Structure 1
Amino acid sequence: MSETAESLGIEELRTYWACQCAPGSVAALPRDIEKTLLAGLRLNVLETLRYLHHEKPSYEQFEAWIRERNRGELKDVELDRLRYALAGESVGAEVGHIGDVDGLSADDLAHWDEHGYVILRNAIDRKAAEAAEAAVYDFLGMSRDDPESWYRESLGHSIWVPLLRHPALVANRRAPRIHKAHAQLWGREDLWVTIDQVGFNPPERDNWPFPGPHLHWDATLAEPHCFELQGILYLADVAEDQGAFSCVPGFHRTLKEWLKTVPAGVNVHDYARNTLTMKPIAAKRGDMIIWHHHLPHGSSPNRAQQPRVVQYMSLWPTRFAYTEEWLS
C-alpha cells in the first residue's frame, strides 16, 4: 500500500483540504475521521487550520507542508496503519504490542469509575520528563533557576506554549504506559494521539495574575453525553498550590441532572463557576492525569515558588460516538 514521496495517497486528506479551502465543494468528513486523519499525520489542529485558511495552498502544496512539518519522517508503516484504519480495517496500538505493559491497576480503575479521573503514576520515566521540561524552558528562552526569566512579554498573558514537535515531546507521545492506560479506559487499542502544545504556568505576581483557563468544559453539553478522554502530563512535580490541574470529581455521573438545575437564561459556564468547587490534583514529575471530558476542569493560580510545566495529550480511537450539536 506504500505511496511515492509525491503523494500521501489518502483520499480523506484531499476531502479535508477541499472543505477548508473550498467550503461547500464537498461534504465534510465525520468529526471522528477528521481527528484520526490529523493525528495520524501528526498534525496540530489549530496550526493546520491557520495554514490552510491563511495560505490557501494547492493540494500538492498541502501535502508538501505536511511532510515538512514531520521533517520528512512519516514512515510507510505509519501511513499504512492510517490508511487501513480509515478504510475500516482493524489496527493495533501505534506503539506495538501492549498486552504485557503495566497500565492502570484495579484500584486505579475503581477510582476512575467513582471520580472520573485517574493519575497514571510514572506514565513516563523521570529522565524523559526532565528532557521535555528542559525543552520547554529552552523554547521559551528561560532558565529553571532564574525566576526573573519566567515572565516574558513575548508570551502574552497565557499559560499556553506553542511547542509541538520537539523530540522529547514526540517520545512522550509514544510512551507504552500512556497507550496502555488509554486502551484500558477506551476498551480498544486502535488509538491516535493528539499533537498538542505544552503549558507553562509561573507563580503569580503583581504584574502577572493567573490568566486561566478557569472552570470550563471542552465538550458539548448537548445530549447524548458521549465518552471521551483528556489528559495532562506533569513534566515536573506539581503541588496543589502550584497551578495544579483542577476538576470537580465525580461530576461525569451527575452532569445530566445538574444541567436541569441551571436557571433559565443563565450561562451554564457562569453558573458552574459560581456554584461548583474544583479540586486541585497534585502529582509527581512523569505522572499523567487522565479525565472524563464531562468533568468541569481548569488550571488554578500558582501560589508556590516554581512554575507548573506540563504537556497536553489526548488519545482517541479511529471511530467513536460523538454529539453533533454544540451546546455550551
Structure 2
Amino acid sequence: MQNELIAKVPPSDTIAQSTTLPCYKETGGLGLFQLKRMWHKVQLQKQGCADKKIIENEWSLDVMIMDTLGLGLTPTIESIFASDSFFEFENWVKKVHGRAISNAKRNQLNKSIVSFFEETDIKNEAASVETPRYSILTPLQWQSWDDNGYVIIPALVPKKLCEDVCNMLYERLKMDKNNPASWYSCHALKQGVMVQIFNDITMQVIRSLPQVRDVFEQLWGRKNLTVSTDRLSFNPPQTESWQFPGPNLHWDINFNKPLTFATQGLLYLTDVTAEQGAFSCVPGFHKKIDNWLANLPKNTNPHSFNFDKCHSTPLAAKAGSLIVWRHTLPHGSCPNKGDTPRIVQYINMTPLSK
C-alpha cells in the first residue's frame, strides 16, 4: 500500500541533502520520536536511494504514529511529499492534530517507539493479555470467524452515532440525502466510492467506543491495539450515467513478507441489503491461501489474479453493524443495485509489531 501511495505523489524540487537517516530519537518542536526520520525516509525515496528494507521494517511503526495522532495514512504520505522541510511537515501535523499534544500522549508514544527499536516489550506483549471486560462474540460468531474468516456483530454501534457521521458526510460533500441527483456531484474529497475524510469528531466518537475495542481485543487475543484513522466510503446506486468503479475483489497484503494474522474491518452506517453495494468476500479463503500461493506459477503477482470465477458473498446487515475479516480473504465492494447509498466507516485495530 505504501508503495502505491508514493507512486501517485509527484516529487518535490527540494530534496534531502544527506543520505543518512537521522536517529529515531531526533525530534523537532513537537518532541516526538521517529517523526523526523519518517520525513527523511521519503526524501531519500525522492532521490531513489532509500533503503527499502528499512522502510518495510518500520512501516507498521509509522502507521501506528499516524493513527495515534489521528492523521490518516493517505493525507500524511501526501503531506510528507509536499513538504520541502521537516519544519513544514511538523506544522502540518500540528494543524491536523488540532490541539496541543499532551505530555501523557507524547510520553506514551515515544515509549512505544523506543520499545519498537529496542524490542523491549513488543515480543512479550501477547503473553501478558488481560481478560476482556465481557464477551461480545457469541459461539456462532466465533464459528463464523473460524470457518468463514469473517464475523458480523449487529447493533454494536448506536444508530444515532451512525446518523451523525452520515449527516456530516452529506454536509461536507455538499449533497442532499433526500435528493438523488446530488449524490453524483463531483467533490475533491470523493475518489471513486472512497471519501477522503479521516478524523471528524463524529468518526472519533465511534472509534473510541469500548465495545468496538472489545471486539478487536477478543479477535486478536491481546490488548494494546492501536485504532486506525481511516476514511469513509459512499457507494450510490448505479445509474446509466454512473457505474460502480470498484474496488472489486482484492487484497491489501504485502506478499513480499510472510503472512501473519491481521484483521480489517468496517462499520455499516446505513442499512445495507445484499444487492445494495454490500461488502463482499470469499468465505473460507484464509484456509486455502497458503496452498493457493504455493501453486501459483512462478513470478506471478497474486494481486493480478482475476477473481471473476471465485464465489464471493455479499454481507447484508443493519446500520451499526461491525464487520471484521481476516486480511487473507479476498474482499471488496459490489455495484449498488438498490435505491439508497451504502455508507461505511473503515475501522481496524492492530498491535505494534516488527
TM over 0.5: yes
Does residue 247 (structure 1) correspond to residue 247 (structure 2)? The answer is: no
Provide closer, same or farther for how the CA distance between residues 266 and 191 of structure 1 changes in structure 2, counting only shifts above 3 A: closer
Deviation, structure 1 residue 239 = 0.5
* Partner deviation per Cα, 1:65-114 (whole Å, 9 max, x = no partner): 2111011153333233222222326699xxxx993255322332221011
Cα distance in structure 2, aligned partners of 1:249 and 1:153: 35
Scaled by the length of structure 2, what TM-score is found?
A: 0.80
1:80 is matched with 107
Amino acid corresponding to residue 103 of structure 1 in structure 2: I
Deviation, structure 1 residue 22 = 4.1
Amino acid corresponding to residue 215 of structure 1 in structure 2: L
Instruction: Identify unmatched segments of 5+ residues in structure 2.
Output: 1-27
Instruction: Identify unmatched segments of 5+ residues in structure 1.
Output: 1-5, 321-328
Contact 2:269–2:344 (8 Å) recurs in 1: yes
Return the match for 1:18 from 40, 63, 67.
40
Cα distance in structure 2, aligned partners of 1:222 and 1:62: 30
Contact 2:79–2:92 (8 Å) recurs in 1: no
Cα distance in structure 2, aligned partners of 1:104 and 1:57: 47
**RMSD (Å), alpha carbons:** 2.6
Contact 1:101–1:177 (8 Å) recurs in 2: no
Cα distance in structure 1, aligned partners of 2:131 and 2:198: 25
2:264 is matched with 230
Deviation, structure 1 residue 274 = 3.0
311-320 or 194-203: bigger deviation: 311-320
1:140 is matched with 173
2:19 is matched with none
Deviation, structure 1 residue 116 = 0.6
2:30 is matched with 8
Provide closer, same or farther for how the CA distance between residues 65 and 265 of structure 1 changes in structure 2, counting only shifts above 3 A: closer
Cα distance in structure 1, aligned partners of 2:149 and 2:171: 34
Cα distance in structure 1, aligned partners of 2:299 and 2:64: 37
1:45-124, aligned counterparts within 5 Å? 45-58=73-86, 60-88=87-115, 99-124=132-157
Contact 2:279–2:314 (8 Å) recurs in 1: yes
Does residue 279 (structure 1) correspond to residue 313 (structure 2)? The answer is: yes
* Partner deviation per Cα, 1:185-243 (whole Å, 9 max, x = no partner): 11111111121110000000001011100111111335632111111111111110000
Amino acid corresponding to residue 47 of structure 1 in structure 2: P
Scaled by the length of structure 1, what TM-score is found?
A: 0.86
Deviation, structure 1 residue 265 = 7.0
Q: Aligned residues, how many?
A: 311
Contact 1:227–1:292 (8 Å) recurs in 2: yes
Does residue 153 (structure 1) correspond to residue 186 (structure 2)? The answer is: yes
Contact 2:71–2:199 (8 Å) recurs in 1: no
Provide closer, same or farther for how the CA distance between residues 80 and 123 of structure 1 changes in structure 2, counting only shifts above 3 A: farther
* Partner deviation per Cα, 1:51-75 (whole Å, 9 max, x = no partner): 11122223x3322221110111533
Return the match for 1:41 from 69, 82, 86.
69
1:308 is matched with 342
Aligned-residue identity in percent? 31
Contact 1:233–1:312 (8 Å) recurs in 2: yes
Provide closer, same or farther for how the CA distance between residues 208 and 38 of structure 1 changes in structure 2, counting only shifts above 3 A: same
Amino acid corresponding to residue 146 of structure 1 in structure 2: N
Cα distance in structure 1, aligned partners of 2:177 and 2:343: 10
SS at match of 1:153: coil
1:193 is matched with 227
Provide closer, same or farther for how the CA distance between residues 149 and 102 of structure 1 changes in structure 2, counting only shifts above 3 A: farther
1:324 is matched with none
Provide closer, same or farther for how the CA distance between residues 55 and 248 of structure 1 changes in structure 2, counting only shifts above 3 A: same
Contact 2:195–2:234 (8 Å) recurs in 1: yes
